[in-house]
């Protein structure tokens, strides 16, 4: 038993020494990076900084300061790679930094790093990874504002109040279009909006012919029937699409139809933006 305890203490001391040595070696690599940069060898400066970051990351520790230092080393390596147009290496290093910051729940630094990764992948022409980095940039922006929103329980601060519309903006952007990456979600959102407004018109019982003397065999007078719901559906679809072929109008609460027209234009603009984004990546 005593021998085992002594062995345990010996190994424990060795592990501490090894950790200190690794940390010291990582710092030496980082300092070497600065030396290479002064000599004008930016490639070796970037490689040394990346090596320092990798070693710092591998150190088994729960010390947040040392973990954050690894992220800083990766950021330094990324900047050096980018300065010599090694865009892919720059993007990978800054993504490593983003991964570390996300583990530390530092979402502001995380989304900033993913934003840089997006730009670097774009510079390299790697548009698939550019799209992935963009998605995570938006995702962590949303998480950052949500963290601000629920971060403190000591009353509602001014910062919390300002974060509400920003969080809702990113949340809605994700739900409707997956941050501008999904046409399918946009189509589903369009269908939901049309069905919602058609049901609203149906309940209001306010959709009627624009010209009372006009005879339209497809028109149903206001009633709680399926036929009249189809009239409301056509009315909603014509407003949403911006192309009306039906001589109908809403007799009451016209501001509701104005809201649907605006939403239809917003959806159309988003559709064009998504298509252009995807075409530009090919």
CA distance 209 to 113: 57
When pLDDT is cut at 50, 70 and 90, the band that residue 245 belongs to is low
pLDDT in tens, 168-195: 999 999 998 888 888 899 999 999 999 9
Tokens of 259: 């809201």
Average pLDDT value for residue range 190-215? 80
pLDDT at 97 over 60: yes
Write down the pLDDT at residue 40.
84
Q: Is pTM, for the whole model, over 0.75?
A: yes
Q: How far apart (Å, rounded) are the C-alpha atoms in residues 181 and 134?
A: 9
The CA dihedral of 186, 187, 189, 195, to the nearest 10 degrees, is 160
Higher pLDDT, 217 or 175: 175
Q: Are 271 and 181 in contact (CB under 8 A)?
A: no
What is the predicted pLDDT for the residue at 128? Answer: 87
Report the distance separating Cα 95 and Cα 82, nearest Å.
Answer: 13
Q: pLDDT band for position 8 (50/70/90)?
A: very low
pLDDT of 99: 94
Closest CA to 281 of 88, 132, 115: 132
Q: 68-82, 147-161, 204-218, 233-247: which has the highest mean pLDDT?
A: 68-82
| Whole-number pLDDT of residue 44 | 84
The percentage of the chain sitting over the pLDDT mark of 90, rounded to a whole number, equals 31
- Sorted by sequence, the CB contacts under 8 Å of residue 178 that are 6+ apart come out as 135, 185
Sign of CA dihedral 274, 277, 281, 282: positive
**Average pLDDT value for the chain:** 81
The whole-number pLDDT of residue 246 equals 56
């Amino acid at each position: 038993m005593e021998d085992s305890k002594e062995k345990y203490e010996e190994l424990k001391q060795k592990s501490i020494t090894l950790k200190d040595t690794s940390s010291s070696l990582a710092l030496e690599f980082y300092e070497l990076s600065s030396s290479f940069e002064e000599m004008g060898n930016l490639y070796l400066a970037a490689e040394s900084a990346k090596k320092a970051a990798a070693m710092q990351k591998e150190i088994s520790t729960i010390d947040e300061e040392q973990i954050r230092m690894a992220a800083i080393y990766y950021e330094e390596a990324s900047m050096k790679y980018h300065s010599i147009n090694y865009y892919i290496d720059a993007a990978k290093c800054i993504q490593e930094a983003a991964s570390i910051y996300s583990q530390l729940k530092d979402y502001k630094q995380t989304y900033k790093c993913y934003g840089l990764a997006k730009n670097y992948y774009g510079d390299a022409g790697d548009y698939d990874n550019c799209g992935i980095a963009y998605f995570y940039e938006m995702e962590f922006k949303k998480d950052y504002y949500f963290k601000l929103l629920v971060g403190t329980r000591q009353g509602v601060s001014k910062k919390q109040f300002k974060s509400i519309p920003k969080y809702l903006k990113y949340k809605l952007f994700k739900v409707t279009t997956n941050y501008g990456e999904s046409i399918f979600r946009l189509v589903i959102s369009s269908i939901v909006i049309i069905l919602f407004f058609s049901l609203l018109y149906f309940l209001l019982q306010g959709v009627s012919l624009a010209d009372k003397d006009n005879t339209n065999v497809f028109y149903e007078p206001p009633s709680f029937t399926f036929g009249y719901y189809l009239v409301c559906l056509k009315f909603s679809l014509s407003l949403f699409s911006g192309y009306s072929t039906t001589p109908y109008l809403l007799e009451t609460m016209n501001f509701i139809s104005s809201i649907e027209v605006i939403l239809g234009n917003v959806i159309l603009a988003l559709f064009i933006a998504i298509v252009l984004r995807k075409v530009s990546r090919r």
